[in-house]
Amino acid sequence: MPTLRQQLDDLIEKLAPDMEKAFHAAVDDLKDEIVLKEVVERLERRDINGALAALHIDPEAFQPLSEALRNAYNAGGSLVAENMPRLFDPNGGRVVFRWDVRNQGAEAHIRELSSALITNVSESTIEAARQTIVEGYSRGQGPNTIARDLVGRKNAVTGKREGGVIGLNAPQAELIERTRINLASGDPALMSKYLALQTRDKRLDGAVKKAIAAGKPLDQATLDKVLMRLRDNNLRLRGNTIARTETLTSVMSARHESYRQATAKANRNENLITRKWHNSGKRTSRHTHQILNAQEVTGLDMPFHSVSGAMLRYPGDTSLGAPASEIVNCECDCEYNFNFAEAYARSRGR
């Protein structure tokens, strides 16, 4: 019989693709709704805010993510409830516990998680678009070129837009701009940095190496292709990162809420629960989380304290302000235990 941790890991692996599909569906919808002419007209007037408004990057566009998050949350809570240890009330009576996703606490939790996710994705997408416009103006690019850098070029076969920064975050947009500068510089040292990028299209390495050997800038047609593929690969990376991170956060949040519901159903004090942090055991585990390994806290609300200063009640917890550096792609676990023996001893005056 797999352990609960193994079952949760399997659940995250199963549900993450749904979150990833929801992200890409939202991005595709955004691109499909953009009228390029409207963006170009505003760029011609150098109206950056107007151009951003014409992209219609509204929080509502990312609602598919909200639904995927809710499904992951509910699945996580249900799985934990199925694996909940036997519960007894203070009088020794057996307690039957069932997960309730409509519970007031659970609903509030889902709203908080959904709002934080959608706000982060939409705002970071807008910032990436703003950065692309500003950089385009600084290079003297025309409105049509900037607009296509924003939304991508249509594939003649599929009719879908490829490339473009819609869906990327600001650091990714900055990476692409820096790559553009390096490959157009003609400096072999700068151009060679492209070959170290994990998200590059290796099929284009030959053309880049040829330009490096000749000590010449990459020709414009090849540069456009390189950047388009780099944008697409970074978009896939972002979708995968969001999916993995947010699915884990949803499942772990539901686990926490499930224990809160179970404790309330058994009429037990939440301080009878202890929680122990377990890192993934992998070499990729964060140093801060390696230090947290095997640390134990009492109650449901006492946080674990990372040496970075961040506080987390469980892996993936952002409710206490933990930054992305403590959350993204985390694979840690948190073990929950009921200390009913202690409660019994207290009842006997010991």
CA distance linking residue 297 with residue 294, whole number of Å? 10
Cα angle 16, 21, 23; round to 5: 95
Provide the mean pLDDT of the chain: 93
- 195 CA to centre of own chain: 26
Q: Is the pLDDT of residue 346 over 60?
A: no
Q: Is 281 exposed, middle or buried (0-12, 13-18, 19+ CB in 10 A)?
A: exposed
**pLDDT tier, 340 (very low <50, low <70, confident <90, very high otherwise):** low
> What value does the CA radius of gyration of the chain take, rounded to a whole number of Å?
25
Tokens of 61: 């566009």
CA distance linking residue 282 with residue 314, whole number of Å? 18
CA distance linking residue 67 with residue 76, whole number of Å? 14
In this prediction, residues 53-74 reach a mean pLDDT of 95
Q: Is the pLDDT of residue 341 over 50?
A: no
pLDDT digits (tens, 9 = 90+) for 71-103: 999 999 999 999 998 888 888 889 999 999 999
Buried b (16+ CB within 10 A) or exposed e, 148-158: bbbbbeeeeee
Residue 162 β-bridge partners: 153
Max CA distance (Å), the chain:
85
Q: Give the list of residues 6+ apart from residue 12 with CB closer than 8 angstroms, or none.
A: 72, 244, 247, 248, 251
pLDDT digits (tens, 9 = 90+) for 191-226: 999 999 999 999 999 999 999 999 999 999 999 999
CA distance linking residue 337 with residue 45, whole number of Å? 62
DSSP 271: G
pTM of structure: 0.91
- What single-letter amino acid sits at 209? K
**pLDDT tier, 350 (very low <50, low <70, confident <90, very high otherwise):** very low
Q: How many CB atoms lie within 10 A of CB 76?
A: 28
What CA dihedral angle connects 285, 286, 290 and 294, to 10 degrees?
A: -80
In this prediction, residues 32-43 reach a mean pLDDT of 94
